[in-house]
Amino acid sequence: MVTEEYSYARARARLPLKVTVPSPLVLFGLWNPKYSTAAYSDPFEMFADAAEVGRSEIQELVALGCEYIQIDAPELATLVDPRVREWTESLGMPAERMLTEGVDLINGMVEGVPGVRLGIHLCRGNNVGMWMASGGYDYIASAFFERATSFDAYFLEYDDARSGTFEPLAKAPDDKQVVLGLVSTKKPDMETPDELRTRIDEAARFVPRERLGLSTQCGFASVADGNPIDLHAEERKLRLVADVAHATWG
**181 in helix, strand or coil?**
strand
Count of domains for the chain:
1
In this prediction, the residues of the chain whose per-residue pLDDT falls under 70 are 128-129
Range of the domain at 98: 3-8+16-249
Question: Would the pTM count as exceeding 0.85?
Answer: yes
164 torsion bin: left (phi>0), alpha (psi -120 to 50), beta (else): left
pLDDT, residue 222, reads 73
pLDDT, residue 29, reads 87
CA–CA separation, 213 vs 178, rounded Å?
6
Max CA separation in the chain (angstroms): 56
pLDDT, residue 134, reads 84
* Strands, E assignment, 77-216: 117-122, 153-157, 177-183, 212-216
Instruction: Look up residue 22 and give its DSSP letter.
Output: E
**194 in helix, strand or coil?**
helix
Residue 237: CATH number of its domain:
3.20.20.210
pLDDT, residue 21, reads 96
pLDDT, residue 45, reads 97
pLDDT, residue 31, reads 92
